[in-house]
């Protein structure tokens, strides 16, 4: 699953000297239930001259959905009388509308919009850099954090997964303890080399942490473009709910010209494979890449990847090609 356009000139943060490479990578929406369908009210006429908001609300009681929103309507009239009057004035225009039009239905729809639980901020967080990746992609620009604070960790996980499952992107809900381990190791070892299975062999990608963002670009990009090499995948990690809910939310943007969703997912899975492992030999590869680059062996990454089984689904075409 992916969410993002081309990577363009979006570069990531400086990368340490590794395997003879120079500096590289320079640093860098609503889950809403369906709206209520309000049937046209029968026999409804606009209020007569001198009708006030009280009589207007009385007329609203004829709407079959009035009871559901009665407390919301009264609360609006109490807290925002100007808004209430404005909406009532719109309702009063019903007599000017074609037969079958219900201003009361329109009013109720307005109230339903106000009452509806909107967890995600559609249209926010869309300020992009030249490459099509979102600048300053904060959790607040995606999720109504205050609203979900009332939810349990499991409920938030379901909301997050349901929302992003309908989008073409990589996403995850990471347990706090696992992210703690990943984050602690990322501070000591901010870069690593990942292997992505291709039809013929493997393509290598360098992953570089910049704060809680993890930027990926292909090794050949770094070798040919150096520090101007553009990011092709960015994983965004959000620890805002880590202490209170015990989870860290993650989503991503990618350059669809170079990666498809299952390939980006394979790279994201490898982050946990190498940074969250309990196997010392596996994490030692990360330490070697960062601190003893002359000892690092590319084939060790491939061996670890094949042993884990990650990326196996990226090779089905090899079988069909040989048949």
Residue-wise pLDDT for 39-59, tens only, equals 333 333 334 444 444 555 565
Per residue, the 3-state secondary structure of 108-133, as one string, reads HHHHHHHHCCCCECCCCCCCECCCCC
Exposure of 223 in the CB half-sphere (CA atoms within 13 A): 7
Among residues 275, 236, 235, which one has the least CA distance to residue 259?
235
Task: Please answer whether residues 26 and 14 qualify as being in contact, where contact means their C-beta atoms are separated by less than 8 angstroms.
Answer: yes
Pick 81 or 131 by higher pLDDT: 81
Pick 34 or 263 by higher pLDDT: 263
Cα–Cα distance for residue pair 240/179, rounded to 1 Å: 12
pTM: 0.61
* Confidence tier at 108 by pLDDT (50, 70, 90): very low
Two tokens at 271? 């982050």
**pLDDT of 148 over the 70 cut:** yes
Q: How many domains does the chain have?
A: 1
Pick 122 or 209 by higher pLDDT: 209
**pLDDT of 86 over the 60 cut:** yes
Tell me how many degrees the CA angle 303-219-206 measures, rounded to the nearest 5.
70
Buried/exposed code over 115-134 (b: 16+ C-beta within 10 A; e: otherwise): eeeebbbeeebeebbebbbb
**pLDDT of 145 over the 80 cut:** yes
**Is 180 within the bounds of a domain?**
yes
Residue 221's CB is within 10 A of a number of other CB atoms, namely: 22
The separation between CA 84 and the C-alpha centre of its own chain, rounded to angstroms, equals 35
- The phi and psi torsions of 205 (rounded to 5 degrees) equal -125, 140
**pLDDT of 192 over the 70 cut:** yes
**Is 165 within the bounds of a domain?**
yes
- DSSP sequence for 48-85: -TT--HHHHHHHHTTSTTHHHHHHHHHHHHHH-HHHHH
**Is 81 within the bounds of a domain?**
no
Cα–Cα distance for residue pair 7/132, rounded to 1 Å: 6
**Is 17 within the bounds of a domain?**
no
pLDDT at 80: 75
* Confidence tier at 137 by pLDDT (50, 70, 90): confident
Average predicted confidence (pLDDT) for the chain: 73
* Residues 6+ away with beta carbon under 8 Å from 10: 28, 129, 130, 131, 132, 133, 230, 231
pLDDT at 19: 40
Task: Please answer whether residues 247 and 156 qualify as being in contact, where contact means their C-beta atoms are separated by less than 8 angstroms.
Answer: yes
Cα–Cα distance for residue pair 44/62, rounded to 1 Å: 8
What sign results for the dihedral spanned by CA atoms 175, 171, 268, 250? negative
pLDDT at 44: 36
3-class SS at 214?
strand
What are the angstrom distances between the C-alpha of 200 and each of 196, 290, 303, 316, 317? 11, 28, 16, 12, 10
**Is 305 within the bounds of a domain?**
yes
Range of the domain at 201: 138-314
* Mean pLDDT computed over 15-41: 35
**pLDDT of 13 over the 60 cut:** no
pLDDT in tens, 233-256: 999 999 999 999 999 999 999 999
**pLDDT of 120 over the 80 cut:** no
pLDDT at 23: 38
Cα–Cα distance for residue pair 173/221, rounded to 1 Å: 30
**Is 250 within the bounds of a domain?**
yes
**pLDDT of 94 over the 80 cut:** no
**Is 120 within the bounds of a domain?**
no
Task: Please answer whether residues 319 and 212 qualify as being in contact, where contact means their C-beta atoms are separated by less than 8 angstroms.
Answer: no
Percent of the chain with pLDDT over 90: 42
**Is 117 within the bounds of a domain?**
no
Pick 3 or 307 by higher pLDDT: 307
Task: Please answer whether residues 76 and 33 qualify as being in contact, where contact means their C-beta atoms are separated by less than 8 angstroms.
Answer: no
């Amino acid at each position: 699953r992916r969410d993002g356009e081309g990577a363009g000139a979006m570069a990531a943060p400086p990368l340490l000297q590794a395997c003879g490479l120079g500096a590289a990578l320079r640093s860098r929406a609503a889950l809403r239930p369906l709206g209520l369908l309000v049937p046209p009210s029968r026999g409804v006429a606009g209020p007569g001259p001198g009708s006030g908001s009280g009589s207007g609300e009385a007329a609203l009681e004829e709407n079959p959905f009035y009871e559901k929103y009665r407390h919301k309507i009264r609360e609006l009239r109490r807290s925002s009388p100007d808004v209430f009057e404005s909406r009532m004035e719109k309702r009063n225009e019903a007599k000017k509308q074609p037969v079958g039009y219900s201003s009361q239905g329109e009013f109720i729809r307005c109230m339903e919009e106000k009452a509806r639980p909107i967890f995600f901020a559609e249209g926010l967080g869309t300020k992009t850099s030249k490459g099509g990746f979102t600048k300053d992609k904060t959790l607040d620009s995606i999720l109504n954090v205050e609203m979900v604070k009332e939810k349990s960790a499991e409920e938030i996980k379901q909301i997050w997964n349901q929302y992003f499952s309908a989008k073409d992107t990589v996403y995850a809900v990471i347990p706090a303890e696992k992210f703690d381990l990943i984050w602690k190791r990322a501070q000591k070892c901010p870069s690593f080399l990942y292997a992505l299975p291709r039809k013929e062999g493997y393509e290598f990608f360098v992953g570089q942490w910049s704060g809680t963002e993890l930027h990926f670009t292909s090794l050949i990009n770094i070798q040919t473009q150096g520090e101007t090499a553009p990011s092709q995948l960015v994983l965004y990690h959000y620890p805002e709910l880590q202490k209170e809910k015990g989870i860290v939310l993650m989503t991503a943007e990618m350059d669809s010209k170079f990666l498809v969703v299952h390939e980006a997912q394979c790279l994201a899975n490898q982050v946990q494979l190498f940074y969250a492992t309990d196997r010392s030999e596996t994490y030692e590869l990360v330490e070697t890449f960062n601190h003893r680059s002359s000892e690092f062996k590319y084939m060790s990454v491939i061996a670890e990847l094949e042993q884990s089984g990650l990326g196996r689904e990226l090779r089905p075409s090899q079988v069909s090609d040989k048949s």
